[in-house]
Amino acid sequence: MTTPVLPSIDPKRTALLAMDFQNGIVASVAEPDALVERGGGAIADVRATGGTIGYVRVAFTEDDWAAVPATNKTFSGVAAAKMMHHEDATTQIDERIAPEDGDIVVRKIRFGPGSTTDLHQQLRDRDIDTLILSGISTSGVVLSTLIDAADRDYRIYVLTDGVADHHPEVHRILLDHVFPSRAHLIDTAQLAELLKAA
């Protein structure tokens, strides 16, 4: 079987999204230090070629909690328990991959950023047409963002070694059977090669 040829990357029109790499979530996955290190390397590679870095985190204000309806199975529980306050240390982006001036940073209050932030407007304002997705978890923010971004006609890459999930089998099924029809799957080494060729 021949390996499919990956489309080239134009760094100026590309954004790497580092999603939910926040203290309380990073600490909950297997081998968190290695995951953050790989993510940091990918961020550095994209930055070095002039690409955009976007950070997505999940966190709530008091008003956000109050506005979550009982119909929302997941986030009504988060609101009732007053979890993930936006000022808590657990909701802050891991300092090892902290944002820099000029990066996009959004705070979401659902699984993906598409419905509750201006992320896509900020990406469009920068003429971004290609997304590289990394994040925790594969079955949460990554899946939600991938489907939303595919519907918005982005070219999408998923970093297979830059995503993680609490459920290894769900992670495997998504990478093997769901994501390939919507995105190009690459690892951080392949990303570095694509950027070098740009």
Averaged pLDDT of the chain: 96
Percent over 70 (pLDDT), the chain:
98
CA distance 59 to 38: 24
| 13 pLDDT more than 70 | yes
Amino acid 144: pLDDT: 98
CA distance 124 to 145: 15
Instruction: Label residue 5 by pLDDT band (50, 70, 90).
Output: confident
| 189 pLDDT more than 70 | yes
| 178 pLDDT more than 80 | yes
Contacts of 125 (CB under 8 A, 6+ apart): none
| 127 pLDDT more than 70 | yes
| 11 pLDDT more than 70 | yes
Q: What are the Cα distances from residue 50, in Å, to 91, 96, 179?
A: 28, 20, 27
| 193 pLDDT more than 60 | yes
| 1 pLDDT more than 90 | no
| Residue 198 and residue 8 in contact, taking contact as beta carbons nearer than 8 Å | yes
Amino acid 4: pLDDT: 72
Amino acid 2: pLDDT: 58
Instruction: Label residue 73 by pLDDT band (50, 70, 90).
Output: very high
